Structure 1
Amino acid sequence: MAKRLKMLMLAALLAPAGALWAQNGAIDARTFDQLTKAQELAAEDRHDDALYILDRLKERGRLNSYATAQLWNFYAFIYASRDEYQQAIDAYFKVMEQEDAPNGLVLTAKYTIAQLYFQMEQYGDCIRFMNEWLETADKPTPTAHIMLAQAYYQTHEYDRAMTHVDDALALERAAGNRVQEGWLRLKAVLSYTKGDYASTAQTYEELISLYPNSTYLRQLAGMYSETGQGGERLAVFDALYEHGALKTESDLLNLAYMWQGEQVPYKAGRIIEQGMAKGAIEESPKNVESLANAWAQANEYEKAIPTLSKAAQISGDGLYYARLAGVHFNAGDYAAAAEAAIQADQQGGLKNPAGNLMLLGMAYFNDRKYEPALQAFRRAKQSRDTFASANKWESYTLKEIERIRELSRSQDELEQRTREAIESRENNLNAIGIGS
């Protein structure tokens, strides 16, 4: 900002040289030569030497109003170049006090005063002088509107700030120029500060199209989250992932969870699996469990079971054995489900031990091991949360046991009758002399 300010002031300093100074004899030859010399010294950053010449000219006291305006313009430039902003502002005020000061010089003075006040963080004064400049300038510049926008932002006048940002962007686009990155960033900040997340997202979309950057993609994803555009947020994060911009564990897991939320667990599993292979995701019990859950949701039981078994072995926590029991159960391996549920029961630390007992009972039931199933359901009845469900399963199991017993009795009776019928037939045949 300071460097750009100095370049602007130097351009303003050089502009009046030659034809403008000599115009209508407004400056005598001696004064012209001295100002030219001061200009050359100032351009070389020999400020003390330039000030010496200006001081001598001022002390002569024979300068007309036009020449005096030029003199103070030089003073202002040198003071500003030395970061003596208040003295530079005072000098520019003296430029504007001169009756014959050229209109262009007065406008430049107002513009530069506004910039200097901005540098001094006196934003109210900056706003006042920049607005004065805008009112009289033939062709307001985009940069003037941006400075006003920045000043209004600092004074928390966000609506006015946004108006001037939009004016700057409109002027720049009308000129066929690519809008500056910083201007769009300011618009995004203003929109976000005002709580207009949709507009913020649109601005980040433009930033990404003009200045591709993974940071903007992340911020755009955040805005999509704020506006409830989950699908768009996922698309942005996935684009970051495909371009290798997601490297941290939290980012990778976040993307995996988003895919699970969209009912695409297989992709979630691949992301976690590859993250672990690259060392980006720690193979902690919790992360291994997340991987196993993704595989289980994708019905990839051949991958889910060994993965969850690994988590259970690493942690020794009953919770993981309980999860493993559930995966085995869903895969239809009821014997393995019962074995894992027993491990979970023995290890302890379960959030829902009664639920594990219910699963154990159902695994035994489906494996046709009814007596152990009854024991599991009766233990589950001790919990208020599972009492009703366990009671129903207990009754159902008892009925199944009775049905099997009845079936067995019927089978025995049938076999007995069959044997008796065969024996009776053989006896009858023997009685009539047909039998063997």
Structure 2
Amino acid sequence: MAQEKGLENSDIILGKDISNVRRGLAFFSVALIYFFYCYNFMVGTFIKPTMIGEAVNGGFGFTLKQSEEIFAVMSFGTIPGTFLFGMLSTRIGKKKTLIGIALLIALTTYIPLFSPTNVMLWKAARFCTGVVLGGVFGCAMPLIADMFPAKYRGKLAATLTALFSLAMIFGGKVYGALGDANWKILMYTAIIPPIVGAILAIIFVPDDTAYTKELLEKGKETGEKISYLGMYKGKYLWIGLGTILLSGANFTAYSAFSNNATTYLVTNIGMTAAIAGAIYSLQGIGQLVGYFVWGSIADKFGRKVPLIGMALSAVFVFIYTRLGGDNITGFYLMSVLIGFAVGYSGAWGAYYTELFPSKYRALSSGMSFNGGRIVSTFAIPAIAGTASGSLGMMPIFYIAVAVFVAGTVVWAILPETLKKNKE
């Protein structure tokens, strides 16, 4: 039994001697930061009605376009943030970087409160928040990979990924309870918790400073620096491009469908907004379940097996386009199934860290995941331009189907990593 336990812990890098309770509290600390990283993306949904409200009614007097621009720059900011904090974590460690990120999330989210009606301050602050948010995935996922054996990583990565769905549910409840009049309190719900997460991380997350220095020293001995240029060499260049294309296909296909689903149901099918919203909400529930199921499958059978979910996403979206307005039950069912299928990405946090040598963990997962945003940033507006005439949203959905299929092919070509870790 002792030998078996030793084998189980052989791939744990951080905190090999800490108790399971301490390890669980360390995971909770990282998960709390990750939850409010996800939650921060929803600040726009909460504040937008106040932003575009008239000043005489307590609003900021922004135009709808201005409000969209504020949160568009935030999304763009995640791209340079991935590079910046990825490199920083290779110098000072992932724990310290994640703690700094959590505190900066709180600070940059607070900045607009100094002058809420200043649109330029909002744009600058939300861009900075985006930069900071871009570093979370690349620090949180590798930390979990360093603290737990390979056989748990898929499920734990899926748990973190699933927090986005929970953050959506939580955010809706908070917004419903507080409303537009309490927009400042809503902002504080995105400001205070990351600080709490940072404090907990200081206390419970094992320090990786020594491990980080060890990797740097090894790099100096071999003349190889831990950098993106060093990571993308030989076969890893093609693996890196493959992961970016896979993430890009995910962001593009999922957004093309989800961003237009309710509009399609109302304008093309003729449903009421209430029914369309109810159908759409079931997608979130299905996705929450899918993250855990596909994450467990990835741990047991292989990191590539969930590509079945990506292929099924294409099938289910196509069936969705074939349903008529008299088949509301069918729409409910397909919405759940689409949500469940797109949970395929739940284990990517583990998969992307394992595809590259362990010394690049601080860089590989963040770039592999957020690098896909570069693809979707250009692809999604182009796809939106295909909606026209009597076909309405249908061309967008057909393109989403094709991109899901293309992503499945890319994933099939990438290597398997679970067997390698077991060996």
TM over 0.5: no
TM bucket, shorter chain: under 0.3
- The alignment's TM-score, normalised by the length of structure 1, stands at 0.17
- The alignment's TM-score, normalised by the length of structure 2, stands at 0.17
